[in-house]
Structure 1
Amino acid sequence: MSHYRRRAGLCAPLFLTVTLRVMMGVGLSQFALPSVAQAPAPLPPSAQSLGSSANSVLIPDRGDVTVLKLDDQLRVGKPIEDSKALTFTSSDSIDGIVDREMRLKGRAQIRRNGAVIKADEIKYDPDSDVANLLGNAEFSKGNALFKGPKARLRVDARDGEMETPNYELRDNRASGKAKKLTIASSDVFVFDKATYTTCTPENLDWYFTASTLEIDNEQKEMVGTHGVMRFFDVPIAYVPYFTAPTSNQRRSGILAPVAGYNSNNGIDITQPYYVNIAPNRDLLLLPRVMGQRGVQLGAKYQFLDKQYSGSLGGDYLPYDRKTGTDRWRYDWQQRQNFSGDLLGMGGIPIAGAWTGYANVARVSDNLYPTDFSQTIAGAVTNQFRQDVGTTKNLTGTLSNWTVGARAMTFQTLQPDPTVTVQSPYNILPNITAAYNNRLTPTVADASGKYIILPSGPTTTFSTDFTRFAYNIGSNLAATAPGAYSQADRTVIKGALALPQITPGYYITPKVSFQSNTYNVTPYNPVGAPIAQGFTIPTVSLDSGLSFERDAAELKGFFGRDMLLTMEPRAFYVYTPFQSQAQTPLFDTADAGFGVTQIFSENTFIGNDRIADNNKLTGGLTSRMIEASTGAERANVTLAQRQAFTGQKVGLNGTIANPTTYSDTLGSASVRLLGNFSTDVFGQYNTQLNRLVQTTVGGSWRPTPGRSLNFGYRNVWTPPTQASVQNNQAFVPSATTTDQYNISGQWPLTREVSVLGRWGYDALTTKTLNTLVALEWMRDCWTLRGAYSQMLNTSQITTTQVLFQIEFRGFGSAGSNPVDIMKFNVPGYMPTSKPIPPSIYENYQ
């Protein structure tokens, strides 16, 4: 039988996984060096040099003649000026008069600087540089190809004409035909009575006709007059003049309109206009017409530079016919580097960098997101931040320090009159300084081949000063986050850890402390509660083992060699009890219960609560891993925390009767062959003898474009204590979540797929959301339609009808339902985009 073994590897402490990767990379590079590309060998010495040596063999002097050499792969050569390019010809036979007229017959070709001319017969006059192509004439340059019965071209000037040509533009898989082609230059082609499509000739479902069509292959643009769009030979649109890109390069112009129906706004049409200001700047204008509300003006400006990046956008509706008010929104996001270097364009700051940011957004009223958002995530937003800040990584002897400052205010919306959303405190300001001995930049050794990674104890220290403020007098009392109109809080933290990590085991002892002080100003001084600070130490010990064995018994089930692991973990933490019943709450909440939280030192997140602990947490994780690939097929975890003394510290006071047993946690994640997966999470309370939290999910995705999903979630919430200090009323225990949802995508035919989702809340016996969608995909166009209904609040249900037709490589019309499909159907696969053409695809 198989036995578990401690996971193999170095037994000395490993400080980072990167160490092994660096060592392997440096070692393998020594073997890779001999295989890199080398310059061609020099030509043999000239006859003169050989003649001066004994026993030499004379060979002709090559002088400055270029010698062609076979290469082991296709390479992109350097561009050559036309005046310096050579001309090559080939055919089955050739006759004529030198420098007067040349006749190439049978598979005739002329090649020059990337351009290829082919025909059954080519008559070329060097004096006039004119080539007459007779029979199966063909001209190609780059990814453009033109074919016709005959043509007349000037080889050097790259101009000429072709009768009744067929053409292909492989940049966007487009093709067409015309009455006549005039080649104005090497990259500009003018067609008379032309058609344009991205469909294959066998399925010519749509095509665009134009009286004149000029395609600039260098600028990647086409310009036409009197254009008519035909879908299944039925004219559906006419434009007297148009310009359009022939690639995915950015270009100023009108984008496809976005149209749909919304129960809040009626007919909803947006006509975007894109302005390509510069390679790193653009502007999107968004005029929007809503049948029940009026005309809204919107814009979004984006910018990107090495030292800064961001966007500025907004919308303004001068008069909303339904509310009789002006409605508006603005959003400003920016990242700025004031000094120091960044990794990449707008990238990560490195040592010494001084950076800043701004995230500022605001709307005119409580119902603005519900009424105007075109995405589900935006429609359910009830809070907007106005956040600015800066961070500085110090250098020199202070390179382990980082300092920062920020200010943040909140706009909390109340879209549902039956549910009051409590607002958080504004932060005006927050100033921090943090020390970490592992922030020292890595240093290379004397050879320059290796880097020295930090080792030994990990030391951290931080200070945090925050001024919290809230204008209680100008807002509803129920929305206030607490009893204070202003409060100053100072937090000091420190920690010392000594991690010892190997592949088979790890152990990390740690000592830490936190000290809080408060200076508060109550809104109502009469009977105001005091604000009590604290200083609390914590000691913890985290440890774990890792065993694995060959699981021969699983090979028959999975069809491949498998490894089975056993990973026990033990975590002990001790924090003495100190009453925090008089300590206010500003940015702290319960951390919840999960695999991460059960192995943490504090059951709260934020700086206003430190849980008293004398607890030992034991857990066991087992994984099923493919031996050859390392892919994880299953993961099962069981854990329970044993409290030697019950936790007394609560969010809103001291817990009267704490329990010494925590809930038992169990989770499992299984990925079976056939693309079936399931995830289960459960939290069982031994004292109440009931499941407190249950989550079950499953999906089956046999092939791309096929998926079925199921989910269920049930949450029971314990009672919440009342607190005048935190403006918290007593809330009894209750089941707060009991929801089901099913969703999926499935093809009805090779071209038509259906999508759907249904979400149901068993507590309110209401449908939360419904989606019914259809996607019809052909080789050159896709039609999508969706009907969506979502419960935004207890009183508002939004219904949307979205349709879009997308002509591949040309444009689209309608309101794009892809975002709403992705949000509702996990695993949804939208129509795949064509693979970009290779530069060697038309290699000749």
Structure 2
Amino acid sequence: MEAIKLPSKSQKSCSFKASFFNHCMNRNHFYPSLVLLGIAAPLAAQEQCLAPLEAFNTETLANEKEIVVKANNVEIQQDTIARFKGKVEISNQSARINAEHAIIDKDAQLLSASENIRYADKQIQVDSKNVTLDLSSNSLKLDSTEYRLRQLSGRGAADTIELNEDVGLKLLDVSFSSCPANAEDWRIQASSIELKPGELWGTAKHTRFYVKDIPVLYLPYFSFPVTELRQTGLLFPNISSSDSTGLAYEQPYYWNILPNLDATISPRLMSKRGVQLKTEVRYLTKQHSGEVNLEYLNNDNDSVTDKTRYFYRLMHQGELNNAWSISADMNGLSDDNYIVDLGSDFYNRADTHLFKTFGVSYHGDDLYFSARFRDFEIIGDHPSSYRALPEMKLNYELLDSEHLSLNIDSELTYFDNDDADVPKATRLHIAPTLTFPFRTSWAEFLAETSLLQTFYYQDNIDNSPQLDRNAERTLGRVRLYGAMSLEREISWFGDDAIQTLEPKFQYHYTSYQDQNNIGLYDTTRLLNDVVGLFRGQEFTGLDRISDTNQIALGVTSRVLDSNNKEQLSISLGQIFYFDDNQVLEANKEDNRSALAAELDWRISRRWFAQSEVQVSSKNQKIERSNISLEYRLSDDKLLQINHRYVRDLSGDKIDQMGLTATWPISSEWHWVGRYYRDLNLHRTTESYAGVQYESCCWAMQLVWQRHLTNRLDVLGNQSFNEYDSGINFRFVFKGMGSGSSSRKLLNEGLYGYRRPYFLSN
């Protein structure tokens, strides 16, 4: 095969042709799917239903600033006309044209190719009947084209594609669809699309949207952005129905304000309640990012007391410099039943507190400092929580060596409360800790001693005579921790495997001091699982530090197959108390804690079991348990049954059974369901069923659910006897800002689903 390098003028022209064509492809100029309605987001990668194109081979392309023509036969007439025949290949550094025939006319400044023409680069592949390149005007014309997008599922045709350095890109009688050619469920057709050089907007004329062969939308003329930025326009609507809202239609509109600023405005029409406006604003700078959400319902037609209803949310993360950073999480709503009645994308109907926090922090090599202002929006009739205004922490590492470290942890917090009758307090806590670590590849030992010094100034204590205005507490703490990891080779159901034995212990001693003169500001009792047995602290916060003289013993054993994949993990642990607790809030009835056990077992390739159990050492009854059994054939084929039990949770007994399942009916139909029942109260707490049809180019979801509303009355008391039922419908054309939708349905349908923590695929 012969190869000829074109003269410099042809090199310039062809180089213009290829680079401009690539420029248009990279910036989505040629994607008619983005033309209709200015779809807001770039095309998302999705499952390929069209036969995937071969990867574009760049190894045989020409060098930079060079055009190379190869052919089986070459004829040159008087150095003015060159004819190429048989497997003609014209390439530059980024693209390639293949044809059977090509002619270069030096006098007419024309390059033309015919028969089996294919243009290809990294983004697109175009088949055409004729290609003409006018070297004098730097224009390229392709006739009767069919194109395929290489990285996305998209295809279409254009009667003519014209590229010109001055005029730009023009497509005549162009179509686009993400469906295969023999199953075109939808397509977009336009008489012309024009993109001019240097312009930020393109124009389309006589655009029609077809479902099957039925036109459903016509736009005689409109303009659209042609940059890589997200594009302003309508998103797919959400249609739903429920007892609370009635029939609801939500239509999101995306507004691409700036490259680093956008908004989504979603009017929501509800037959029972009226029109709600939902807005989301996102911003991004080099050092800051955040999101602002505002939902507003001016006049609720279905509420007598709460006519004007709203919800707001602000999330912000930022860096002031390499060491200083700030964060904010602010939430609020108009009334306690807002989430129950209108729903929320950020909270659920069981939540009782909404965060209101702002913080600043410093990270140095040896020093960490943070200051947070922490408040809450309380939902329902719950005790008013203490606000930390502010909470400042300073951690300083004085020494850090292989076998010795010295840290000082300190905290200064002011606690305030909306309730005028409860105490307020300022707390200062300082805790230097000296640690002696020793680690090897198979063992770890840690000796640690701390001095815990806490000072309180308590105000508004007239109604709490047991509290002191000035209180001081000094405690000593010693902790000894040791762990080993031993291995041996075993046979596991006939296969080679490794079994580990991982014992660990912790001795924990904390001195005693009477703390009844200190209020409870951020302190609650902790629950112990196997991991929690080794915390050494029975409370959150610092208002109560229990005296301890105890040892915690635990052991974990794992079975690893020849691929180092975990087949079994079982853990046991218990605390043994040498002395009774003198801190009243930590008082216990036995000299041992409940026996905690955890099990994660890969029974077979498809079956998994997981359990967490705590058994009382006093009466040998189960105090808490969480057990699940799962059959998993693949990521979208699973069945799980689970049971949750708590003997006493704030005076209530929890005894619930749940069933979760997802399974494809066929290659296009899929269903997801979950069902939870309260065995103690003999009633269903939640049921959910969803079915989805998903083809290569469109998807439909239909979801039905019924659940307890947890609605609050005027006194803030929650009702646990009312149900809300609803239906939700979604429809998307894939390739128009939406990818595969099955994962979203799967995640929503598997709400509450939990895979075994230790086992992995």
What range is the shorter-chain TM-score in? Answer: 0.7 to 0.9
Q: Quick one: structure 1 residues 188 and 368, their matched pair in 2 at CA, closer, same or farther if it must change by over 3 Å? A: farther
The answer as to whether partners of 2:297 and 2:310 remain within 8 angstroms in 1 is yes
Match among 581, 587, 612 for residue 647 of structure 1:
581
The answer as to whether partners of 2:428 and 2:454 remain within 8 angstroms in 1 is yes
AA aligned opposite 1:820: E
AA aligned opposite 1:408: R
TM-score (norm 1): 0.75
2:565 counterpart residue number: 631
1:460 maps to 2:427: no
Q: Distance in 2 between matches of 1:186 and 1:625?
A: 67
1:437 counterpart residue number: 398
2:270 counterpart residue number: 290
Once the two structures are superposed, the pairs formed by residues 204-219 of structure 1 within 5 Å of their partners are 204-214=184-194
2:644 counterpart residue number: 713
1:9 counterpart residue number: none
User: Number of matched residues?
Assistant: 686
Match among 603, 628, 632 for residue 538 of structure 2:
603
1:515 maps to 2:481: no
AA aligned opposite 2:385: P
1:770 maps to 2:736: no
For residue 726 of structure 2, give the secondary structure of its aligned residue in structure 1. Answer: strand
Q: Distance in 2 between matches of 1:184 and 1:74?
A: 27
Deviation at 1:218, TM superposition (A): 11
Once the two structures are superposed, the pairs formed by residues 64-143 of structure 1 within 5 Å of their partners are 85-143=65-123
The answer as to whether partners of 2:284 and 2:290 remain within 8 angstroms in 1 is yes
The answer as to whether partners of 1:273 and 1:284 remain within 8 angstroms in 2 is yes
Deviation at 1:496, TM superposition (A): 1.5
AA aligned opposite 1:262: S
1:695 maps to 2:626: yes
Match among 340, 363, 371 for residue 405 of structure 1:
371
Deviation at 1:428, TM superposition (A): 1.8
1:679 maps to 2:610: yes
1:790 counterpart residue number: 707
Q: Distance in 2 between matches of 1:251 and 1:129?
A: 39
AA aligned opposite 1:770: S
AA aligned opposite 1:514: L
Moved more, 278-287 or 701-710: 278-287
2:27 counterpart residue number: none
Q: Distance in 1 between matches of 2:102 and 2:61?
A: 29
Q: Quick one: structure 1 residues 321 and 819, their matched pair in 2 at CA, closer, same or farther if it must change by over 3 Å? A: farther
Deviation at 1:235, TM superposition (A): 3.4
Identity, % of aligned pairs?
22
1:490 counterpart residue number: 428
Once the two structures are superposed, the pairs formed by residues 266-281 of structure 1 within 5 Å of their partners are 266-281=246-261
1:329 counterpart residue number: 311
Moved more, 706-715 or 597-606: 597-606
1:554 counterpart residue number: 492
Deviation at 1:668, TM superposition (A): 0.9
Match among 374, 381, 384 for residue 423 of structure 1:
384
For residue 203 of structure 1, give the secondary structure of its aligned residue in structure 2. Answer: coil
Moved more, 377-386 or 561-570: 377-386
For residue 531 of structure 2, give the secondary structure of its aligned residue in structure 1. Answer: helix
Q: Distance in 2 between matches of 1:533 and 1:513?
A: 13
Match among 591, 597, 600 for residue 660 of structure 1:
591
The answer as to whether partners of 2:352 and 2:378 remain within 8 angstroms in 1 is yes
The answer as to whether partners of 1:744 and 1:825 remain within 8 angstroms in 2 is no
Q: Distance in 2 between matches of 1:221 and 1:749?
A: 43
Q: Distance in 2 between matches of 1:603 and 1:187?
A: 75
Deviation at 1:217, TM superposition (A): 12
Deviation at 1:262, TM superposition (A): 3.3
2:44 counterpart residue number: none
Q: Distance in 1 between matches of 2:748 and 2:472?
A: 48
Match among 709, 715, 731 for residue 805 of structure 1:
731
1:69-118 alpha-carbon deviations (Å, 9 max, x no partner): xxxx97799999xxx83332223323352443332233333334434333
AA aligned opposite 1:456: H
Once the two structures are superposed, the pairs formed by residues 735-750 of structure 1 within 5 Å of their partners are 735-750=652-667
AA aligned opposite 1:455: E
1:620 counterpart residue number: 555
AA aligned opposite 2:91: R
Q: Quick one: structure 1 residues 74 and 210, their matched pair in 2 at CA, closer, same or farther if it must change by over 3 Å? A: closer
For residue 519 of structure 1, give the secondary structure of its aligned residue in structure 2. Answer: strand
Q: Distance in 2 between matches of 1:611 and 1:276?
A: 56
Q: Distance in 2 between matches of 1:554 and 1:336?
A: 51
Deviation at 1:755, TM superposition (A): 0.8
For residue 601 of structure 1, give the secondary structure of its aligned residue in structure 2. Answer: coil
Q: Quick one: structure 1 residues 238 and 764, their matched pair in 2 at CA, closer, same or farther if it must change by over 3 Å? A: farther
For residue 133 of structure 1, give the secondary structure of its aligned residue in structure 2. Answer: strand
2:748 counterpart residue number: 820
AA aligned opposite 1:368: Y
For structure 2, the residue ranges without an aligned partner over 5 or more in a row are 1-55, 711-719, 756-761
Q: Quick one: structure 1 residues 589 and 751, their matched pair in 2 at CA, closer, same or farther if it must change by over 3 Å? A: same
Deviation at 1:818, TM superposition (A): 5.8
Match among 314, 320, 324 for residue 338 of structure 1:
320
1:226 maps to 2:206: yes
Deviation at 1:158, TM superposition (A): 5.4
1:544 maps to 2:446: no
The answer as to whether partners of 1:741 and 1:759 remain within 8 angstroms in 2 is yes
Q: Distance in 2 between matches of 1:236 and 1:554?
A: 62
Q: Quick one: structure 1 residues 158 and 315, their matched pair in 2 at CA, closer, same or farther if it must change by over 3 Å? A: farther
Q: Distance in 1 between matches of 2:200 and 2:360?
A: 42
The answer as to whether partners of 2:237 and 2:730 remain within 8 angstroms in 1 is no
1:310 maps to 2:290: yes
Q: Distance in 2 between matches of 1:534 and 1:588?
A: 16
1:148 counterpart residue number: 128
Q: Quick one: structure 1 residues 327 and 758, their matched pair in 2 at CA, closer, same or farther if it must change by over 3 Å? A: same
Q: Quick one: structure 1 residues 624 and 462, their matched pair in 2 at CA, closer, same or farther if it must change by over 3 Å? A: same
Q: Quick one: structure 1 residues 233 and 688, their matched pair in 2 at CA, closer, same or farther if it must change by over 3 Å? A: same
Moved more, 490-499 or 107-116: 107-116
Q: Distance in 2 between matches of 1:667 and 1:824?
A: 19
Name the Cα RMSD after superposition.
3.3
Deviation at 1:715, TM superposition (A): 0.6
The answer as to whether partners of 1:700 and 1:707 remain within 8 angstroms in 2 is yes
1:498-546 alpha-carbon deviations (Å, 9 max, x no partner): 1111122222111123233322233754856557553221222111222
Q: Quick one: structure 1 residues 812 and 564, their matched pair in 2 at CA, closer, same or farther if it must change by over 3 Å? A: closer
1:256 counterpart residue number: 236
The answer as to whether partners of 2:672 and 2:745 remain within 8 angstroms in 1 is no
AA aligned opposite 1:693: R
1:388 maps to 2:327: no
1:758 counterpart residue number: 675
For residue 301 of structure 2, give the secondary structure of its aligned residue in structure 1. Answer: coil
Deviation at 1:141, TM superposition (A): 4.7
AA aligned opposite 1:134: S
Q: Quick one: structure 1 residues 737 and 458, their matched pair in 2 at CA, closer, same or farther if it must change by over 3 Å? A: farther
The answer as to whether partners of 2:384 and 2:419 remain within 8 angstroms in 1 is no
AA aligned opposite 2:439: I
Deviation at 1:412, TM superposition (A): 0.2
Q: Distance in 1 between matches of 2:170 and 2:551?
A: 80
Q: Distance in 2 between matches of 1:295 and 1:163?
A: 51
Deviation at 1:772, TM superposition (A): 0.7
1:18 counterpart residue number: none
Q: Quick one: structure 1 residues 78 and 247, their matched pair in 2 at CA, closer, same or farther if it must change by over 3 Å? A: farther
1:444 counterpart residue number: none
Q: Distance in 2 between matches of 1:256 and 1:519?
A: 57
Q: Quick one: structure 1 residues 391 and 622, their matched pair in 2 at CA, closer, same or farther if it must change by over 3 Å? A: same
For residue 370 of structure 1, give the secondary structure of its aligned residue in structure 2. Answer: helix
The answer as to whether partners of 1:755 and 1:825 remain within 8 angstroms in 2 is no
AA aligned opposite 2:728: L
Q: Distance in 1 between matches of 2:117 and 2:367?
A: 72
1:172-202 alpha-carbon deviations (Å, 9 max, x no partner): 2311123333334599643333321112223
AA aligned opposite 1:427: A
1:195 maps to 2:175: yes
For residue 662 of structure 1, give the secondary structure of its aligned residue in structure 2. Answer: coil
Q: Distance in 2 between matches of 1:107 and 1:165?
A: 20
Deviation at 1:770, TM superposition (A): 1.1
The answer as to whether partners of 1:647 and 1:659 remain within 8 angstroms in 2 is no
The answer as to whether partners of 2:512 and 2:547 remain within 8 angstroms in 1 is yes
